[in-house]
Amino acid sequence: MAETTMNAAPAAQNTPAAKPKKSIIECFLQGCGKGFDIGIKQIAPAMILGYVLVYVLQATGLMDILGTVFTPVMAIFGLPGEAVAVLISAFFAKASGCGTAAMMYAEGTLTLAQATILLPACILMGTLIGHYARIVLVTGSNKKWHPLLLAIPLVDAAIAMLITRGILAVMGIF
């Protein structure tokens, strides 16, 4: 028996037409738009909240009370008690904490060396509240780890302030 081979036509594929590739300029502009949205919708409100909080603390006189209460703790890092406002502000946004440190330096509350000690802490523990809400709570991580997830950035910030103070001391700046 002779075998018959049938040359079947390739099956028609029901795939949509391939989208044309975006140019590098289109990708760049799309990324700029996303970055602008993030800046306006997420970062700016957190920064404003941090600045407003510091202003309210100063206007109500609570900054002086916080300064007195936190002087022993902040002295460990070579900072005045009022420097706690920088860390509080950094909870809401890294840039807010850094901006608060710059503002306090400009006002004469902090020296340049003290502001320098605070900056790594602002980066390491900054935006802790927002990140916790957007990442830890949204992912549904095990609740037993939540205190640790909050504590690690705070411990990192404390270690960074001590290291920075040590570096500045070795350099003869502090």
Sorting pLDDT into bands at 50, 70 and 90, what band is 12?
A: low
Distances (CA, A) of 18 to 23, 94, 152: 15, 42, 47
DSSP string covering 33-78, please? HHHHHHIIIIIHHHHHHHHHHHHHHHHHTHHHHHHHHHHHHHHTTT
Comparison of pLDDT for 32 and 138, the residue scoring more? 32
Domain residue limits, the chain = 39-171
Euclidean distance between CA atoms 59 and 150, whole angstroms: 30
From the list 160, 92, 150, 148, the residue with the least C-alpha distance to 121 is 160
Q: Are 45 and 52 in contact (CB under 8 A)?
A: no
pLDDT tens for each residue of 40-81: 877 777 777 777 887 888 889 888 898 899 999 999 999 999
- The predicted pLDDT at position 172 comes to 94
Name the most confidently modeled range: 7-16, 88-97, 109-118: 109-118
Average pLDDT value over all residues in the chain: 84
